[in-house]
Amino acid sequence: MKKTIKLAVVAALALGTTSAFATNGDAMIGVGAKAVGMGGVGIGMSHGAESALTNPAMITSVEGTEISFGGTAFMPNVKTDLGDGSGAHKSAADFSVIPSVAVAQKGSENFYWGLGMYGVAGMGTDYRNTTGGMANFNMVTNLQLMQFVVPLAYKTNGFSIGIAPILQYGSLDINFVNNSGRALPGLASGATSTTKGVAQDFGFGYSVGVGYETSGFTVGASYKSKIDMEYKGQISQAMKDFTGTLGSDNLEQPAEMGVGASYKMGGNTFAIDYKQIKWSDAKGYKDFKWDDQSVIMLGYQYAQDNWALRAGYNHAKSPIKDQGMAGSLTNVFNLLGFPAIVEDHYTVGASYGFNKATSVDLAYVYSPEASEKFAYNLTQYATSIETKHSQSAVSAQVNFKF
């Protein structure tokens, strides 16, 4: 078992060096292939070890020791047209690998503990090689977030409660060139942004959850605290160059709170989750006028013997909105650098058990193209910026039970 855990840790650290692009705002719709295959549900349904972050109380379904590790190949397709006559340009940031590793163990009759390492959020675009017109300012953005958690849970008479301290690692890089043909408030025409390298930080938070199970019916609730991060020399310098205003370097991952329920009848399981993501209260995001998101997740699973099939749906309105001509610079940063506009996600998944100790999970997510056109007046001839964004992702996960 120690060798398997070591391999899982190495895999997570290797995959964590790549960038991520996400779905509900900058947050992945779910953690782990089982949850992803069911639209992200996991607050009121246990997925074993992979439940550590979504609702730590749900790791109490583990019977002994369970280890899950894998990753997601994420493929966003983003195109932005600045209205300069050169047409829409495609972002080169169209492939990312996102890690997921979880361990959970039943320590005693009532006590459970675990360990998790997850790529949980991120976003970015890459127009560095774009040519023609304003060349989308040759903007490059790359936000990556990874969380390390230690879930602790207690269960008695069908009721469970859990808490998971969180250590978050994040990195952020923003670069662009003023190709507008005129001086921006803080940057001369033709000049490059003065942000310096990649900024990194660690932050601390926690997740708490409760659950209750009776006669195939399970309900749960969870709360995840906001986590403050500071990316020195990135956001403040980018804002100064683009708008002439020196803003804060803080970018706070927002608080999340939700409830969920599932019902198992024979081989069928039906599940629903609802959660709120509080972007408007988070440092950095509220400066860019992000709205809170209400996320609805629906999932279905049919399981027999050593196999299972899953399907799901996830919906949340885009957190970014048109700020009008007066908010042109905010509109450009949101749609060009951080285009979190996808809203609908359709998912399918499957599991196969080779024996009682080893199984594999697969999931696929498709987000149809979303389009937003915001007001924009950085040049005398451009009146709007338009971004089109679709996504697909494939997740694979291997599980071991002892």
Residue 152 scores a pLDDT above 90: yes
What distance in Å separates the CA atoms of residue 250 and residue 116, rounded to the nearest whole number? 25
- The CATH class for the domain spanning 2-401 reads mainly beta
Per this entry, what is the length of the chain? 402
Dihedral sign of CA atoms 36, 343, 258, 149 in order: positive
Neighbours of 164 (CB within 10 A): 30
Alpha carbons within 13 A on the beta-carbon side of 159: 2
What are 319-355's pLDDT values in tens digits? 999 998 888 888 988 999 999 999 999 999 999 999 9
Per-residue pLDDT at 218 exceeds 60? yes
Binned at pLDDT 50, 70 and 90, residue 17 comes out as very low
Using alpha carbons, select from 130, 162, 171 the residue that is nearest to residue 336: 130
Q: In terms of Cα–Cα distance, which of 386, 388, 389 is closest to 82?
A: 386
Band (pLDDT 50/70/90 cuts) for residue 7 is: very low
Residue 25 is encoded by which pair of tokens?
């705002």
Specify the pLDDT at position 18: 42
Average pLDDT over residues 366-384: 83
Kindly report the pTM of this predicted structure: 0.92
Rounded Cα gap, residues 346 and 39, in angstroms: 7
Mean pLDDT of 243-272: 92
Please answer whether residues 206 and 222 qualify as being in contact, where contact means their C-beta atoms are separated by less than 8 angstroms: no
Whether 217 has a pLDDT exceeding 70, the answer reads: yes
Q: In the predicted model, what is the mean pLDDT of residues 356-371? A: 96
C-beta of residue 243 within 8 angstroms of C-beta of residue 187: no
Overall average pLDDT of the 205-218 stretch:
96
- For residue 283, pLDDT beyond 60: yes
Mean pLDDT over each residue of the chain, to the nearest integer: 90
The three-state secondary structure class of 355 is: coil
* Nearest-angstrom CA–CA distance, 362 and 33: 6
- The reported pLDDT for the residue numbered 380 is 56
Distances (CA, A) of 376 to 136, 320, 328, 384, 386: 13, 15, 5, 4, 10
Quickly tell me which residue has 């690998």 as its tokens. Answer: 97
Residue 381's pLDDT band (boundaries 50, 70, 90)?
Answer: low
> Rounded to whole angstroms, how far apart are CA atoms 351 and 397?
9
**Is the pLDDT at 6 greater than 90, yes or no?**
no
3-state secondary structure at position 188 = coil
- Judge whether residue 44 has pLDDT over 80: yes
Pinpoint the alpha helices (H) of 157-277: 235-243
Please say whether the beta carbons of 377 and 339 come within 8 A.
Answer: no
Strands 140-149 and 152-156: unpaired
CA nearest to 151, candidates 219, 206, 70, 98: 206
* Domain extent listing, the chain: 2-401
Give the model's confidence band at 379: pLDDT under 50 very low, under 70 low, under 90 confident, else very high.
Answer: low
